[in-house]
Amino acid sequence: MDLHLSGRSALVTGASKGIGLAVVRTLLDEGARVVAVSRRTSPELEKLARPELVHVAADLMDPEAPARVVARAVEEFGGLDILVNNAGGPPPGVSLPRTSFLDASDADWPAMFEFNLFSAVRAVRAALPHLLADGGGAVVSVSTGLARQPAVGNAEYGAAKAALTNLTKVLSEEYAPQGVRFNTVSPGAVRTAWWTEEGGAADIIAAMAGSDRDTVMDTLAPQMMNVSTGRLVTPEEIADAVALLVSPRSGSTTGADFVVDGGYLKAV
C-alpha cells in the first residue's frame, strides 16, 4: 500500500535506537525526508545515511532544544509535514520499573514530566506554525498502555504519558479544522534498550524474580503483564502504526489512540 509519504518532511525525536530508529527507517523506506533527533547518533542510525536523512544532536531536557530542531528541519527541507514525538521513557540516569511509589523523589517527578510531556509540548508549539503554513500535517506522539492501564512501579511515567494522551485529544479538537491531525500510539512492552540494556528493566525484574534477563524478556515479562500474544512487541510494529497515522491515507483519523501492545490493554 502506497502511504503517499514520498517527498514529505518529517521530524522524529528519540531517533537513534528502538522505536525512534524503526520509525526513521520506515519513513525513509516510504520516501519521506527525515530529521532524526537524539542526544548522539548510533551505528544503526548511521547505517541509514542518505541525502534524505539529517541527524541533529539535541538534548530535549533542554527547554530550548525543541524549537532549535524544528527550525533545523524547516531549514533543511523547506517546511515540515510530520512530527513524531517519540523521545521518552526514563530520563537520563533513571531506571524503571521502580518497586514502589515511594521510590520516586520530588526531583524524579519533574524530570519524568520534562522528558515525556514538556519536550513534546515544546516541539508541538514550535512545529505548529509550519504545519499550518504548509496547509496541514500530522503529529503522532508515542504514549504507553500504562497511560490507560496503570501499573505499580511506574507512577510518574504513567502519569506523564496519561497527560500526553490527554493533550493529544485536546490538540486534535483545536487543529483538525485547520488540517493538522494529532494521534497517539500506545505501545505495551517493546523490546528496546529500556529492556535490553545492562541495568535496564529486564535486569531489574530478573534480580527481583531470581531469574535471568533473557527469561524475563522471552517469558516472564509477557506472563507478568498478561500479554495475549505471549511476547514483547517489536519496534517495527510500532513504526508501522506511526507511518500509517502520519500518512494522508489516515486523513480522517485524529484524536485516536492506536494501541499496539500484544493484548496488554484489556479494557473495552
Average pLDDT over residues 39-61: 97
Would you state the pLDDT for residue 6?
Answer: 98
234, 187 in Cβ contact below 8 A? no
Would you state the pLDDT for residue 23?
Answer: 98
CATH architecture observed for domain 9-188+235-257: 3-Layer(aba) Sandwich (3.40)
Please name which of 186, 175, 160, 13 lies closest in space to residue 84, comparing C-alpha atoms. 13
Active-site amino acid positions: 157
pLDDT band at 140 (very low <50, low <70, confident <90, very high): very high
> Is the per-residue pLDDT at 262 higher than 90?
yes
DSSP-derived pairing of the beta strands 53-57 and 180-187: unpaired
Q: Where are the domains of the chain?
A: 9-188+235-257, 192-232
Q: CA–CA separation, 183 vs 89, rounded Å?
A: 18
Would you state the pLDDT for residue 267?
Answer: 86
Q: What is the CA radius of gyration of the chain?
A: 18
> Is the per-residue pLDDT at 95 higher than 90?
no
Grid cell 514529505 in the structure block, residue:
8
Q: CA–CA separation, 121 vs 98, rounded Å?
A: 26
- Per-residue pLDDT reduced to its tens digit, 149-202: 988 888 999 999 999 999 999 999 999 999 999 999 999 999 998 888 888 888
Grid cell 540516569 in the structure block, residue:
93
127, 80 in Cβ contact below 8 A? yes
Q: What would the grid cell of residue 264 be? A: 496488554
